[in-house]
Amino acid sequence: MNLTDLLDMAGGKGSVGQLAGAVGLGDSQAKDLIGALSPALMRSIQKQSQEDSSRAGLESALAGGSHQRYIDQPELMQSDATREDGNRILGHIFGSKDVSRNVAAQAAEETGIDMDVIKKALPLVAGLAMGALSKKTSDTGSGGFGALLGGLLGGDDGQSGGVDDLLGLAKKFF
């Protein structure tokens, strides 16, 4: 399962459409972009979940349910507050703007979407990822959090390739 599938299962189709409109993409391009960004986002979230102190914060954020609003209220994808929250999410999961820029650059290369559009979309996609994870975690309970991430990352869609190389490249900046 990938992030696009998770969004579909969480009822996020409307949010994807709103994200597309917020950054000037068609729905199909938005789905392609989410697919390109998904491995880096999910791997970073998984990494956070493996560190005890980070995991507690992540589980608390998911259990709080405040991110579910990005799924339940698709119109929030048009909000500056959503973009700001998404940037905070990116700061937590990537730890650096350099990593975000590298992820955006790889997605631009993969999708052919302009880098500036991707930079605008990335915080919104991060919010959607947290919203979908929050919604799915509330469905499965916090004990299902690790299994949920494992399913996203270890699925048989093969979309995780190249992310380790990207994160390795990003580490060279530190």
The pLDDT-based confidence of 6 (bands split at 50, 70, 90) is: confident
Of 41, 58, 61, whose CA–CA distance to 146 is shortest? 58
Token pair listed for 95? 């730890």
pLDDT tens, 132-174? 888 887 665 545 555 555 555 454 343 444 444 444 433 433 3
Number of domains in the chain: 1
Q: What is the pLDDT of residues 11-30, one digit of tens each?
A: 888 999 999 999 999 999 99
Range of the domain at 100: 3-171
Residue 19 has a pLDDT of 95
Q: Where are the alpha helices (DSSP H) in the chain?
A: 3-10, 13-23, 27-50, 52-64, 69-72, 80-94, 97-111, 115-140, 145-154, 163-171
**Spatial distance between the Cα atoms of 153 and 150, rounded to a whole number of angstroms:** 5
Alpha carbons 43 and 60: distance in angstroms, whole number: 19
pLDDT in tens, 39-50: 999 888 888 777
* pLDDT confidence of residue 105: 96
Structure tokens at 56: 């507690």
Is the Cβ–Cβ distance between 37 and 125 less than 8 Å? yes
